[in-house]
Amino acid sequence: MERFSRDHQWIRVDGDIGTVGITDYAQSQLGDVISVELPEAGRKAAAGEAVAVVESVKAASDVFTPVSGEVVEVNDELARQPTLVNTDAEGNWFFKIRLANAAELGSLMDRTAYQAFIKDSA
């Protein structure tokens, strides 16, 4: 299952683990990414909480978790090679989170609804 937030994060869920990253739209708005700060494994966060930071030549932006839970893994490769966000935003995840409440996924958009959302926002 793949869902999208209004904050331009995506989440792909397998069982009780969600893999989270930023959308291609988000990276295109940021421009060239120069740094990624990831959360620490074990961190607990509520849906909508800022847990990571992406810094680009334009600005620094928070990355919010679309669901509540505990961070179980981070993609250290992004910290070493932040430009991966620009080359394939939806193929390079930021962190994995164990869902505390799967019902929160219901408030997120599917790809079609997200595409309409960003079109309406433009």
Q: Which residues partner with 21 through β-bridges?
A: 10
Q: For position 15, which CATH number holds?
A: 2.40.50.100
Residue 116 within a domain: no
Chain centre distance of CA 60: 14
First vs last C-alpha separation in the chain:
26
Residue 29 within a domain: yes
Kindly report the length of the chain.
122
Residue 107 within a domain: no
Residue 121 within a domain: no
Residue 106 within a domain: no
Residue 23 within a domain: yes
| Structural domains in the chain (count) | 1
pLDDT, tens digit (0-9, with 9 covering 90-100), for 17-47: 999 999 999 999 999 999 999 999 999 999 9
pLDDT, tens digit (0-9, with 9 covering 90-100), for 43-98: 999 999 999 999 999 999 999 999 999 999 999 999 999 999 999 999 999 999 99
**Structural domain of residue 95, as residue ranges?**
2-100
